[in-house]
A = this chain, B = another copy of it.
């Protein structure tokens, strides 16, 4: 038996995932290859094309491709298909990605911001299924955000909306990678926690022994393990992250009156370590009636959300246009 499927591609800093996704949102087949994100602008795009073709070749027996959706990091314009700036792909600056992919593949391609694709996945098949008013935050290396308002993803004027990691939570606060200071991302992300740790730790040895992985890089996983084992510094840093996460969430509740806030990403996985500080701020700052309507939950789909959401973006485009 063969059936149609949609190809969802999720381009990360390290890996490129390509999946054949059914119309019902199930991953039928997934392939992962290196993203080669530091190659030239054209090579990184060619690698996506190669990933799509390789997946199609392997998925031939499953059916035929009816759409292709590609999730990429960084702000982009969904109408023009231009990627403004991708944090992991330095060579993409105002890069016409969709045009490149479409001319290489000879077919229509939908591109979407990776946080939006992740959110579409959670909205279609995950934690936010069936909801109409949802704020989604993915706390990873940075903070990604997405907004569902009246059942639809919010793109803003040119696709730059929902940069929820870059709301100010402390005007004179920690420096953020975006150049501003006191953004949510400067606290409730891996890079934020690394900054907080550097500020707290006088001794590099302490830092090394507990919070770094074998390659000597800051590790949220190590940090989480240390906090769970009772390490006071790690617990304090999660408390700070939780406090600022709560300040931001309180503002989002007052702005959106959502049904649900979905939290994903590696740092989001340690939500329990942040929850009490987070809720203290939410209760102190957001309107009580609105807080009572808002469930704050963890993302449900894990790493597959991006390809599922990229496929959904492509499927929506087919269903609207044809």
Contact = CB atoms under 8 A, between A and B. Distances in A.
A171 B285 CA distance: 10
Interface residues of A, number: 45
A284 interface: yes
A160 interface: yes
B287 A161 contact: no
A235 to B, nearest CB: 20
A157 interface: yes
A135 to B, nearest CB: 10
Interface in A232-253: 247, 250-251
Given A160-B290, A289-B160, A168 B247 contact: yes
B180 A284 contact: yes
Interface in A132-151: 132-133, 145, 147, 149-150
A77 B168 CA distance: 29
Nearest to A167: B251
B289 A84 contact: yes
Nearest to A243: B171
A87 interface: no
A256 B167 contact: no
Given A150-B152, A156-B256, A287 B168 contact: no
A218 to B, nearest CB: 25
A293 interface: yes
Contact of A257 (B160, B183, B285): B160
Contacts of A156: 133, 256-258, 290
Main secondary structure of the interface of A (DSSP, over half): loop
A1 interface: no
A157 B163 CA distance: 22
Contacts of A320: none
Contacts of A256: 154, 156, 161
25 contacts: A75-B287, A75-B289, A132-B157, A147-B255, A149-B154, A154-B256, A156-B256, A156-B258, A157-B259, A159-B257, A160-B257, A161-B256, A161-B257, A163-B255, A163-B257, A163-B287, A166-B251, A166-B254, A167-B255, A168-B250, A168-B285, A171-B247, A180-B250, A180-B285, A183-B285
Interface of A: 75, 84, 132-133, 145, 147, 149-150, 152, 154-164, 166-171, 178, 180, 183, 247, 250-251, 254-259, 284-287, 289-290, 293
